[in-house]
Amino acid sequence: MEKIKMTTPLVEMDGDEMTRILWKMIKDELLLPYIDLKTEYYDLGLEYRNETNDQVTLDSAEATKKYGVAVKCATITPNAARMTEYNLKEMWKSPNGTIRAALDGTVFRAPIVVKGIEPCVRNWEKPITLARHAYGDVYKNTEIKVPGAGKAELVFTAEDGTEIRETIHQFTGAGILQGIHNTDKSITSFAKACFNYALDTKQDLWFATKDTISKKYDHNFKDIFQDIYEKEYAEKFTAAGIEYFYTLIDDAVARVMKAKGGFIWACKNYDGDVMSDMVSSAFGSLAMMTSVLVSPDGVYEYEAAHGTVQRHYYKHLKGEETSTNSVATIFAWTGALRKRGELDGIKELITFADKLEKATIQTIEAGKMTKDLALITSLKEVTVLNSENFIKAVRETFDKL
Ligand code: NAP
Ligand code: MG
């Protein structure tokens, strides 16, 4: 069979530890035999980031802007222990943080649904995608521990010196204070990324905040979404047969629990942090969660939601067998290849991505899976496979398809 040809390179960001091992296996077994793979390779493994003073991360983000689609392996975010382990010159920043800042994106996370791994919520039939605004609010806050009685004020000083001043509280004793912010620019990017993603995946979009209580702060989010929707997206949504609606966050939570799934739930930064952990664990496993960063000008970066699976890597280094789940990493590749196929009009690439996802799901549904899934599956006949044999089993299913 002739290999599928590509016209534009995919930005390939290699990573660390166990996921770096899976990365190579996936390429060797599932991609290179079928595709004339065209990638621009960036080694984001910690050693090379250290060697290049993290320039490689910045370069990979620039390349993503240039070509439009990237696929990223999980990477180590250095901490004190990693400083010694890798003899680092500096505690380099999180690559994901750097890339997110460069692309100004919103992160969409969706579970991969298979029969035999049932969500805890019985009525969830389709995946729920969480869209998390990744800027500001409590994550960029300023706090004061109030020592005793006194007056707390909120003051804004404009560039021309004029002031806006509001009393927060007249303290009669000790307490606490917190100042948070967001910007119209960031909220606008967030809204556009959500609307574009909804159109792209043909799913309804839900957005919720607490605007009844937060009449200026949260209300501003609601207004910006509504304004952009009416001006730029309402017609496109109608044409696509999908819906955008806004509701209060507590109403959204109640509706999500009763829903069938198959929609995007856009959340403010804190709500998204909390709710994505709830939704992903209720669907089964972090290793079955896809993640894509979408920028407001339509640049896509695909990855798995989990980390480098350090504990398994140390076992692997000792020569012990591992049973690490490669599904989310396989789906990062299929997501990126499908998007490349769509942008370049290469139908074979889209079909390939669809088939490889189908083969992965069918392999698990046939009872062949890694240990993490074997522990939670409702299937009766299960074969637990090691990291490599799972990928080989997917290839066998793929070849049959
Ligand atoms: P992790 O790599 O996600 O792993 C945590 C635990 O979850 C594992 O020990 C394993 O449990 C289970 N797990 C996660 N992915 C799995 C998979 N594919 N197959 C089977 N089990 C899986 O998180 P971490 O250990 O906290 O972090 C390790 C490194 O990853 C850190 O250096 C961190 O900075 C980095 N990280 C990177 C990203 C990213 O690049 N996107 C995200 C998060 C963390 P058991 O040990 O019980 O088997
Ligand atoms: Mg969290």
Cβ atoms 189, 106 nearer than 8 A: yes
The predicted structure's pLDDT at residue 396: 98
Cβ atoms 270, 134 nearer than 8 A: no
Backbone torsions φ then ψ of 330, nearest 5 degrees: -60, -45
The predicted structure's pLDDT at residue 250: 95
57 lines ligand 1 (CB under 6 A): no
186 lines ligand 1 (CB under 6 A): no
Number of C-beta neighbours around residue 328 at 10 A: 24
Ligand 1, atom 16, lies closest to the CA of 287
> Ligand 1: which atom is nearest the Cα of residue 15?
40
Nearest ligand, measured from the Cα of 305? 1
Q: For the chain, what is the mean pLDDT?
A: 95
Cβ atoms 335, 302 nearer than 8 A: yes
Which is nearest to 290 in space by CA: 262, 325, 332? Answer: 332
Q: For residue 358, with 0-12 CB atoms within 10 Å meaning exposed, 13-18 middle and 19 or more buried, which class applies?
A: middle
CA 22, chain centre distance (Å) = 19
Provide the pLDDT confidence category of residue 111 given band limits of 50, 70 and 90.
very high
The predicted structure's pLDDT at residue 265: 97
329 lines ligand 1 (CB under 6 A): no
386 lines ligand 1 (CB under 6 A): no
> Ligand 1: which atom is nearest the Cα of residue 304?
41
Ligand 1 centroid from CA 222, angstroms: 35
Nearest ligand, measured from the Cα of 280? 2
- Average of pLDDT values for 37-61? 98
**CA–CA gap between residue 64 and residue 70 (Å, rounded):** 6
Q: By mean pLDDT, which of 37-41, 304-308, 342-346 is the weakest?
A: 304-308
Ligand 2 centroid from CA 271, angstroms: 10
The predicted structure's pLDDT at residue 276: 86
DSSP β-ladder status, 39-43 and 35-36: unpaired
364 lines ligand 1 (CB under 6 A): no
The predicted structure's pLDDT at residue 168: 97
> Does the pLDDT value for residue 104 go beyond 80?
no
The predicted structure's pLDDT at residue 190: 94
pTM to 2 decimal places: 0.88
**CA–CA gap between residue 139 and residue 137 (Å, rounded):** 5
- Average of pLDDT values for 113-142? 90
* pLDDT above 70: percentage of residues in the chain: 100
The predicted structure's pLDDT at residue 284: 80
- Average of pLDDT values for 287-302? 89
pLDDT in tens, 138-180: 888 899 999 999 999 999 999 999 999 999 999 999 999 999 9
Residues 6+ apart with CB under 8 A from 400: none
**CA–CA gap between residue 57 and residue 98 (Å, rounded):** 7
Running DSSP on this structure, what letter comes out for residue 276? H
> Does the pLDDT value for residue 344 go beyond 80?
yes
- Average of pLDDT values for 296-323? 94
Backbone torsions φ then ψ of 49, nearest 5 degrees: -60, -40
Ligand 1 centroid from CA 87, angstroms: 22
The predicted structure's pLDDT at residue 157: 98
CA angle 222, 104, 164 (to 5 degrees): 50
> Does the pLDDT value for residue 105 go beyond 80?
no
The predicted structure's pLDDT at residue 95: 93
The predicted structure's pLDDT at residue 28: 98
Cβ atoms 140, 212 nearer than 8 A: no
Concatenate the DSSP letters of all residues of 335-381 into one string.
Answer: HHHHHHHHHHT-HHHHHHHHHHHHHHHHHHHTTEE-HHHHTT---SS
Ligand 2 centroid from CA 50, angstroms: 27
The predicted structure's pLDDT at residue 139: 81
Residue in the block written with tokens 């100004």: 104
Which is nearest to 178 in space by CA: 209, 152, 213, 148? Answer: 152
Which is nearest to 294 in space by CA: 239, 339, 334? Answer: 339
The predicted structure's pLDDT at residue 98: 87
**CA–CA gap between residue 368 and residue 401 (Å, rounded):** 17
Provide the pLDDT confidence category of residue 296 given band limits of 50, 70 and 90.
confident
Which is nearest to 333 in space by CA: 370, 302, 293, 290? Answer: 302
The predicted structure's pLDDT at residue 322: 97
The predicted structure's pLDDT at residue 135: 84
Nearest ligand, measured from the Cα of 130? 2
> Ligand 1: which atom is nearest the Cα of residue 371?
20
The predicted structure's pLDDT at residue 277: 82
Residue 170 in tokens: 């007249």
Cβ atoms 103, 61 nearer than 8 A: yes
Cβ atoms 45, 74 nearer than 8 A: no
pLDDT in tens, 264-283: 999 999 999 889 888 988 88
- Classify the phi-psi angles of 260: left when phi > 0, otherwise alpha if psi is within -120 to 50, otherwise beta: alpha
pLDDT in tens, 381-394: 999 999 999 999 99
CA 287, chain centre distance (Å) = 12
pLDDT in tens, 194-250: 999 999 899 999 999 999 999 999 999 999 999 999 999 999 999 999 999 999 999
> Does the pLDDT value for residue 285 go beyond 90?
no
Q: By mean pLDDT, which of 24-33, 34-43, 95-104 is the weakest?
A: 95-104
